[in-house]
Structure 1
Amino acid sequence: MNMTEFNYEFGRVAPKDIKEVVLGEQIGLEEVIAVARYNAKVGFSKKYIDRVNQCRRLVEKFSDEEKAIYGITTGLGENWNRFISKEDRKIVQRNNLLSHACSLGESVEEECVRAMMFVMLQHLGTGHTGIRLATLEQIKDLLNNNIVPFTPRHGSVGYLSLEAHISLVLIGEGRAWYKGELLSGKEALEKAGLTPIVISSKEGLSLTSGTTSVTSLAALGLYDAIVTARTCDIAGAMSLEVLKGTLMAMDSRIMSVRPHEDQRKTAVNIKKILKNSEIVEKYKGYRVQDALSLRCIPQLHGAAKKILKDSLKTLIIELNSSVDNPLIFEEGEGGEALMGCNADGSYVGMAADSSAIAITNLAKMSERRLDRLVNHHISELPAFLNKNPGLNNGLMIPQYAAAGIVGEMKILCHPATIDNFVTCANQEDYVSMGYNAARKMYEVAGLAKYVLATEFFNSSQAQDFYGELKPSPITAKVHDLIREVVPYIENDCNMQPYIEHIAFLIQENMIVETVEVEIGKLEI
């Protein structure tokens, strides 16, 4: 697949609107989310089927010729130098799945398992892996019947273990959830009307190789991170407005003399969102300058979005790559198997490490703004945004929770990919640790929306104190969207469900969509 021909635009389609993904061409993050989160069906195009079958014929040819080719006629890992007889190859491939299924602990989330199966199909169907179509059909059937293999989340240096747990179910081993029950792999298949398959030459290697888990978790996390980053401009604008901030810091002349494109675009977004705000107009020049959490919105938001966009380029390439080892090529007389290591997770792992830092910085600034909103010494609004102090704590404690979440995010920002271990008797003397990077990035992206939701919770409450003085039409629309479920907090109550609802609005991109209906596409 030629990536130079793929013009990808984030958000080109809403994942929830995708009902089926037919593999055969390039895919983006939206397709991963559609299948993983919204249970879109998966199909194969004729192009996909033809290239899989054509490549498999080469593997069978190599096997018949008994050439020494890693994973086809040899053992795996340090056993690369052990020739495996034709009659034993099915045993070796099955043993590869059984022996590799040793990650531990609780299972990864259902959407993560589904994402991994989908990415397996995408990676293994590139026409360079030599896997059989029947094996890919079995993975597809697991997805389309919502059979979710039990996949322990701890114990990966970049690949192998989690993929093996998924693959066990294909052959009737392992465990899987089906219709709310955790069953043996064989029982889950039977209840869905499926039967175990017998894997063949190279397949036990291909199923556990590659960057499946790294790419899958990073794709889920990055999608959420970019949605959150776009929503951050709206949150920042709402807070700046009710904190009587100035738009001077968004002036195009300031942006022009430090021409970072993402900084400029962020400033444009803020100005568009706050256009025609009576609050902004009344308090124009109210302070000589604002605190950094307001004044630096273009700089920090822009820097974070640049990192996320760079990571997006990496993920799109990775999603549409061949990442097995060896890779099969038709060039030359009778085809050729090349041993290399496209299975290495460094590209995605480093992107995940840096993306975790970027999204945590956005949350860090959001927490500072939401804290200013409840601090009457700074906001000049009622203390903790509460008209009835004494008996009520108001919005005091949500800031505590946001601070705790940002603290948790900071812990998860230590780079994983700088770590290293030696495995496989020094045959693998370097490992990417990409899985740990992707895992923590997925977690960080999931936490960020709660901090941002708390900021919206506070700024919506603050907006209600301005009486007849109207906010911008755009922030008023966001306020109204939130107020459809979240009431003005008059007296103390359980606020957790309300903040969770706003977090849901963020994750489903509904706040961004509400704004873009009014002012067009936000710059990113």
Structure 2
Amino acid sequence: MSPVEEIVIGEGPLRWQDVVAVARNGAHLSLSASAWARIDNAQAIVECIVASGERAYGVNTGLGALCNVSLHGEQLSQLSRNTLLSHACGVGAALPDEQTRAIICAAIINYTQGKSGLHRQVVEALLTLLNRQITPQVPSQGSVGYLTHMAHIGIALLGVGNVSYRGHIMPALQALDAEGLSPVVLGAKDGLCLVNGTPCMTGLSCLAIADAQRLTHWADVVGAMSFEALRGQLNAFDAEIIALKPHPGMQIVGSNLRSLLDGSEVLANSQGIRTQDALSIRSIPQVHGATRDQLAHATRQIEIELNSATDNPLLLGTPEAYRVVSQANPHGQSVAMAADLLAIAVAELGSIAERRLDRLINPTVSGLPAFLVSQPGVNSGMMIVQYVAASLCAENRQLAQPAVTDNYVTSGLQEDHLSMGTNAALKLHRVLDNATQILAIEYLLAAQAFEFLKGQRFGVGTDVAWRLLREQVPAYDEDRWLAPDIAASAELLRSEALLETVYRSCRNVAAINTAGARLAREYDGSDATNRSDAAASSRASLAPTNNIDGDPKTYRHP
């Protein structure tokens, strides 16, 4: 068994990859001495506030519209407990474990800014939930920002509610007892700290970034296969032409397509058969590239939020000289807008894929057998899978409507502008799931189209992609149950290892490189120090470069 990766929160900023490593891959999360010192300093300020009787929101006052109600003595601890119990009122199906774990990880990162005032034992308890795989059951619906989702995590620390533990759903108290743990006793401000801030939408968005990045790489592969099967005119991807419109993502996609299609006899023999292709075929660099650029923007926004202090109030200074500041850092507008924008960008990946796959099954424009099957008529072939793709595409158009503009008023006019950031992040995940299925269908259809072109050599990358699918899904000679084939194709698109196999077949690739963490730093201007080697390696594996073996030519976003 390989050793468990460890992510240490220290002085440097963390990345979305660190959250994914913890949430999805089970990496162990720990805090450096300096991180603990920041937490302890803020908590000492809370103790000073309590001792002095100074009024501070959420420390010794009610919450929201009750902010002018003063509290004293044992009421402060009771407020923390009551805050979790009263706010844990979500509805709907529970979040997947990895999503809840991402939220907890992002929350801990937030607390290590040392501006919240949470007691050390509460942070230790959250770390224990992560590292011992005790995952609160969090209803997916009910937050206009984050409160109900965060409260359902918080009540697990009290031994209330249900958790996922060792493959079973059980009462939180039972899981804590199995690990020899006791429920946490909360102090002043602990309850507010546990429900406040943007870790919910931020943690969810970190997972979405991982899925979106992988999907954009696969989209280039699958799009290249359709382009080849439809015998596209390669001049549209000419390097000099692409360079005349210097959007960074477009340059990457153009380079990827040329590399994946390198050596294709199909395209060489098809040169000049038409003046130009339909836009869904010749605009792959422009459309896929725009999605990549929006992904880069969303990543910056979300990582800034991940490394921010997003509680209210925030505690500045030291116990000897401090300030307590009520403000609006918990407002998640930046993350909500980023998630909404990324949902639009990913929906467009699915939209153009649906247009390409429709052309593959139409003999009028493809020059291939109708619906990509021998003996059409007795066989319906790939007719209805295009309906499925169209349905998913239509659903994505609905989901791409911004959440952030759909605003409400809560808490007696005290909270009268809301981000809807958690809703934005959750619907982004649905858009990603749908786009994956659309591309999985296109992958199936492009591979089936290759069966009618096997007398000619395919591109170096597209040939590998075709053969990888054929290892899981045989070619179609007659109608058969298609749903399992779509599922198998979608599972391939979730594999980073197979993605690298495709790109490593190419000599000049913009999407994949493992030359080192330096490439990841050059890509986004960040520093990979203070993070685990494994996480840095993961980041580097998807850093953009135009030469897989040589000196990287990376791009920077402004």
TM-score by length of 2: 0.88
Once residues 380 and 98 of structure 1 are traced to their aligned partners in structure 2, the CA distance between those partners, rounded to angstroms, is 64
* Alignment partner of 1:498 is 2:465: no
SS of 1:456 mapped into structure 2: helix
* Alignment partner of 1:23 is 2:9: yes
Which deviates more, 114-123 or 347-356? 114-123
Which deviates more, 498-507 or 112-121? 498-507
CA deviations over 1:188-234 (Å, ceiling 9, x no partner): 21123221011111110010000122112222222211211122111
* Alignment partner of 1:66 is 2:53: yes
The match for 1:339 is: 326
The match for 2:149 is: 162
Off by >4 Å, runs of 4+ in structure 1:
none
Amino acid paired to 1:150? Q
CA deviations over 1:461-498 (Å, ceiling 9, x no partner): 11121122000111111111112211112222222222
TM-score by length of 1: 0.93
The match for 2:394 is: 407
The match for 1:278 is: 265
The match for 2:520 is: none
Amino acid paired to 1:22? V
* Alignment partner of 1:98 is 2:85: yes
Once residues 319 and 117 of structure 2 are traced to their aligned partners in structure 1, the CA distance between those partners, rounded to angstroms, is 17
Give runs of aligned pairs for residues 351-390 of structure 1, distance below 5 A: 351-390=338-377
Give runs of aligned pairs for residues 439-518 of structure 1, distance below 5 A: 439-518=426-505
The match for 1:233 is: 220
Q: Contact 2:83/2:192 (CA < 8 Å) preserved in 1?
A: yes
Choose from 279, 291, 301 the match for 1:314: 301
The match for 2:403 is: 416
The match for 2:527 is: none
SS of 1:518 mapped into structure 2: coil
CA deviations over 1:341-383 (Å, ceiling 9, x no partner): 1111100001111111110011000011111111122111122
Once residues 94 and 448 of structure 1 are traced to their aligned partners in structure 2, the CA distance between those partners, rounded to angstroms, is 41
Q: Contact 1:386/1:490 (CA < 8 Å) preserved in 2?
A: yes
The match for 1:4 is: none
Once residues 281 and 308 of structure 2 are traced to their aligned partners in structure 1, the CA distance between those partners, rounded to angstroms, is 41
Once residues 340 and 284 of structure 2 are traced to their aligned partners in structure 1, the CA distance between those partners, rounded to angstroms, is 22
**CA RMSD, aligned part only?**
1.8
Once residues 241 and 48 of structure 1 are traced to their aligned partners in structure 2, the CA distance between those partners, rounded to angstroms, is 53
* Alignment partner of 1:396 is 2:383: yes
Q: Contact 1:222/1:442 (CA < 8 Å) preserved in 2?
A: no
SS of 1:337 mapped into structure 2: strand
Once residues 380 and 142 of structure 1 are traced to their aligned partners in structure 2, the CA distance between those partners, rounded to angstroms, is 57
Q: Contact 1:90/1:199 (CA < 8 Å) preserved in 2?
A: yes
* Alignment partner of 1:197 is 2:184: yes
Q: Contact 1:221/1:446 (CA < 8 Å) preserved in 2?
A: no
The match for 2:287 is: 300
Amino acid paired to 1:514? T
SS of 1:363 mapped into structure 2: helix
How far does residue 511 in structure 1 lie from its aligned partner after superposition?
A: 4.2
Amino acid paired to 1:200? G
Once residues 268 and 180 of structure 1 are traced to their aligned partners in structure 2, the CA distance between those partners, rounded to angstroms, is 44
SS of 2:412 mapped into structure 1: helix
How far does residue 332 in structure 1 lie from its aligned partner after superposition?
A: 9.2
Q: Contact 1:224/1:446 (CA < 8 Å) preserved in 2?
A: no
How far does residue 144 in structure 1 lie from its aligned partner after superposition?
A: 1.8
Identity of aligned residues (%): 38
Amino acid paired to 1:23? I
The match for 2:166 is: 179
Once residues 425 and 85 of structure 1 are traced to their aligned partners in structure 2, the CA distance between those partners, rounded to angstroms, is 24
Which deviates more, 132-141 or 36-45? 36-45
How far does residue 331 in structure 1 lie from its aligned partner after superposition?
A: 6.2
Q: Contact 1:170/1:196 (CA < 8 Å) preserved in 2?
A: yes
How far does residue 87 in structure 1 lie from its aligned partner after superposition?
A: 2.3
How far does residue 277 in structure 1 lie from its aligned partner after superposition?
A: 0.8
The match for 1:438 is: 425
How far does residue 90 in structure 1 lie from its aligned partner after superposition?
A: 0.4
Once residues 293 and 247 of structure 1 are traced to their aligned partners in structure 2, the CA distance between those partners, rounded to angstroms, is 14
Which deviates more, 323-332 or 115-124? 323-332
Change in 2 beyond 3 A, CA 1:17/1:486: farther
SS of 2:273 mapped into structure 1: coil
The match for 1:11 is: none
The match for 1:116 is: 103
Once residues 344 and 174 of structure 2 are traced to their aligned partners in structure 1, the CA distance between those partners, rounded to angstroms, is 43
Choose from 51, 57, 68 the match for 2:44: 57
Amino acid paired to 1:345? G
Q: Contact 2:316/2:324 (CA < 8 Å) preserved in 1?
A: yes
CA deviations over 1:403-438 (Å, ceiling 9, x no partner): 111111111111110121111111111111112111
How far does residue 521 in structure 1 lie from its aligned partner after superposition?
A: 4.0
Once residues 77 and 318 of structure 2 are traced to their aligned partners in structure 1, the CA distance between those partners, rounded to angstroms, is 27
Q: Contact 1:18/1:34 (CA < 8 Å) preserved in 2?
A: no
How far does residue 333 in structure 1 lie from its aligned partner after superposition?
A: 4.9
Choose from 133, 139, 164 the match for 1:146: 133
How far does residue 145 in structure 1 lie from its aligned partner after superposition?
A: 2.0
Q: Paired residues, what number?
A: 509
Which deviates more, 478-487 or 239-248? 478-487
Change in 2 beyond 3 A, CA 1:39/1:215: same
Once residues 106 and 126 of structure 2 are traced to their aligned partners in structure 1, the CA distance between those partners, rounded to angstroms, is 10
How far does residue 252 in structure 1 lie from its aligned partner after superposition?
A: 3.1
The match for 2:239 is: 252
Amino acid paired to 1:228? L
Which deviates more, 140-149 or 193-202? 140-149
Which deviates more, 362-371 or 141-150? 141-150
